[in-house]
């Protein structure tokens, strides 16, 4: 079975993890800090805070902005539900703005219009869909007058670069960037994520929030009596100063992340080659077209979604997916628009004002793309898809 996505681990990854298991530190130790420093250096950010998942990272990032209660935050309807759930977790309201059909990212023109007429909007979470970055420079320019907080949902985009060559995560035009290290992502820590930022204030908030509101580093203690004996800090003492969460990454996971990071360049190179082969195979095809139908050499190419005109071939998406599965090829849909989920419908969200998101959803299918996918396997995917579509 060829899955739509899969991690790439080798004997060195396994060996390094096994070594760590035999050492003293399994949870919060030096390897977490080392992983954070390496990621920060790789993306060009001042700080990085490792967390248990990208969902946790998004939650903490929204909390760290300390927005007024029930603020409204713009995000994309075409994303995993974590993007908007993090807004709800924090007591705020997601505002869905439609996508640009050319890149499946947020339509920046619509964002400009929305922020001009709605003063309740206090932040925005752009999603770098499939690893293709939003135009952050333009987004920053659009939102600067409203002074909106900006959190980049880069769950798909570790290894991506902006057009100016800076890596996604450098936070040149945002407050924070959140990455995912789930097994199908650019690199993996099993489960896990990281938040990058250039703000010392946000960094310190994130450290507290990920660990029960406690920072054992160098925060000033508030209780001067309990914290000291004879003017010396008590060696056992720590304080919970905020309501935080248990969103920590472990040393074991961090060791795997450090090992994976050594191969990030080869992962990106293989993903680009696979994308180019798909693009060439679909050239001049008027039934199956790439969803992001232009040069994407800046993308991490996390997934390869196509648009299929199912009404033209008289077959449903379910039929095509089932035919491919019978031939040993796994596909997926990224994503059902978030407002279509029952929970969001019960909150009053509707799809009517998101025509491009709905149009994309009705046609999309994600084809296999991951570093260990061979060119021979990819050719099999292409040929089997063509047979399923045209026969």
Identify which has the larger pLDDT, 119 or 97: 97
In which band, very low, low, confident or very high, does the pLDDT at 25 lie, cut at 50, 70 and 90?
confident
The H or E element spanning position 180 is: strand 176-180
Residue after which a domain boundary falls, among 245, 261, 277 = 261
Dihedral (CA of 79, 133, 140, 352) sign = negative
Q: How many residues does the chain have?
A: 391
| SS3 category, 324 | helix
Which residues are CB-neighbours of 375 under 8 A, at least 6 positions away?
274, 277
63 & 22 share domain: yes
Encoded tokens for 30: 């030096």
> What's the pLDDT at 159?
98
pLDDT of residue 3 exceeding 90: yes
Average pLDDT over residues 283-299: 87
Encoded tokens for 259: 């090992």
Top mean pLDDT of 23-27, 53-57, 231-235 is at 53-57
CA-closest candidate to residue 301, choices 362, 360, 371, 364: 371
Residue after which a domain boundary falls, among 236, 261, 286 = 261
144 & 236 share domain: yes
CA-closest candidate to residue 104, choices 373, 280, 366, 382: 366
What is the C-alpha to C-alpha distance for residues 194 and 184, in angstroms, rounded to an integer? 16
213 & 345 share domain: no
Phi, psi angle pair for 296, to nearest 5°: -130, 45
Domain holding 54: CATH number? 3.40.640.10
269 & 248 share domain: no
Please list the residues that pair with 142 across neighbouring strands: none
Burial class (CB in 10 A: 0-12, 13-18, 19+), 250: buried
- On the question of a cis peptide bond just before residue 335, with omega within 30 degrees of 0, the verdict is yes
276 & 247 share domain: no
Cα dist from 255 to 11, 29, 38, 317, whole Å: 13, 11, 11, 40
Give the torsion through C-alpha atoms of 244, 203, 80, 94, to 10 deg: 80
In a domain, 202, yes or no: yes
> What's the pLDDT at 295?
65
Average pLDDT over residues 174-190: 98
In a domain, 6, yes or no: no
In a domain, 235, yes or no: yes
Strand order in the sheet with 93-96: 47-51, 193-197, 176-180, 149-153, 121-125, 72-75, 93-96
Average pLDDT over residues 339-343: 98
129 & 209 share domain: yes
Whose tokens are 């009517």? That residue is: 352
Give the torsion through C-alpha atoms of 15, 16, 19, 21, to 10 deg: -110
In a domain, 4, yes or no: no
Residue after which a domain boundary falls, among 261, 285, 320 = 261
> What's the pLDDT at 244?
96
What radius of gyration, in Å, describes the C-alpha atoms of the chain?
Answer: 22
In which band, very low, low, confident or very high, does the pLDDT at 145 lie, cut at 50, 70 and 90?
confident
> 52 with 75: CB under 8 angstroms?
no
Number of domains present in the structure of the chain: 2
> 184 with 260: CB under 8 angstroms?
no
Which residues are CB-neighbours of 147 under 8 A, at least 6 positions away?
none
| SS3 category, 94 | strand
Q: Which range marks the domain in which residue 97 is found?
A: 11-261
In which band, very low, low, confident or very high, does the pLDDT at 224 lie, cut at 50, 70 and 90?
confident
Phi, psi angle pair for 204, to nearest 5°: -65, -35
Query: Which DSSP letter does residue 93 get?
Result: E
Domain holding 380: CATH number? 3.90.1150.10
Encoded tokens for 91: 């007591």
158 & 57 share domain: yes
66 & 212 share domain: yes
> For all residues of the chain together, what is the average pLDDT?
95
> 357 with 105: CB under 8 angstroms?
no
> What's the pLDDT at 217?
67
Cβ burial 303-322 (10 Å sphere, 16+ → b, else e): bbbbbbebeebebebeebbe
pLDDT of residue 296 exceeding 70: no
Whose tokens are 């074991």? That residue is: 252
160 & 238 share domain: yes
Encoded tokens for 292: 């992001």
């Amino acid at each position: 079975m060829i899955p739509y996505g899969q991690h790439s681990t080798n004997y060195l990854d396994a060996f390094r993890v096994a070594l760590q298991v035999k050492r003293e530190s399994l949870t919060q130790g030096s390897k977490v800090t080392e992983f954070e420093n390496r990621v920060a250096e790789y993306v060009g950010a001042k700080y990085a805070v490792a967390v248990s998942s990208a969902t946790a990272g998004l939650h903490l990032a929204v909390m760290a902005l300390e927005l007024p209660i029930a603020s409204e935050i713009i995000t994309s309807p075409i994303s995993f539900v974590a993007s908007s759930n993090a807004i709800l977790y924090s007591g705020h309201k997601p505002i869905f703005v439609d996508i640009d059909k050319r890149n499946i990212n947020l339509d920046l023109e619509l964002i400009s219009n929305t922020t001009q007429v709605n003063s309740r909007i206090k932040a925005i979470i752009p999603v770098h869909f499939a690893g293709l970055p939003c135009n952050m420079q333009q987004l920053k320019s659009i939102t600067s007058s409203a002074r909106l907080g900006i959190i980049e949902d880069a769950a798909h985009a570790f290894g991506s670069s902006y057009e100016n060559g800076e890596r996604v995560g450098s936070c040149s035009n945002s407050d924070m960037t959140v990455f995912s290290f789930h097994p199908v992502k650019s690199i993996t820590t099993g489960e896990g994520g990281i938040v990058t930022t250039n703000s010392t204030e946000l960094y310190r908030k994130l450290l507290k929030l990920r660990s029960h509101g406690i920072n054992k580093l160098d925060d000033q203690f508030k209780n001067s009596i309990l914290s000291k004996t004879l003017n010396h800090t008590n060696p056992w003492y720590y304080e919970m100063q905020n309501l935080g969460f248990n969103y920590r990454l472990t040393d074991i996971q961090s060791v795997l992340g450090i090992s994976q990071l050594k191969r990030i360049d080869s992962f990106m190179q293989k993903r680009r080659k696979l994308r180019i082969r798909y693009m060439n195979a679909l050239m001049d095809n008027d039934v199956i077209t790439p969803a992001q139908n232009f040069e994407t050499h800046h993308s991490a190419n996390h997934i390869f979604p196509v648009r299929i005109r199912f009404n033209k071939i008289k077959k449903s998406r379910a039929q095509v997916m089932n035919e491919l599965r019978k031939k040993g090829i796994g596909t997926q849909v990224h994503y059902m628009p978030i407002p279509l989920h029952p929970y969001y419908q019960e909150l009053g969200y509707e799809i009517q004002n998101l025509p491009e998101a709905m149009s994309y959803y009705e046609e999309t299918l994600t084809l296999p793309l991951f570093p260990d996918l061979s060119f021979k396997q990819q050719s099999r995917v292409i040929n089997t898809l063509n047979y399923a579509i045209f026969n």
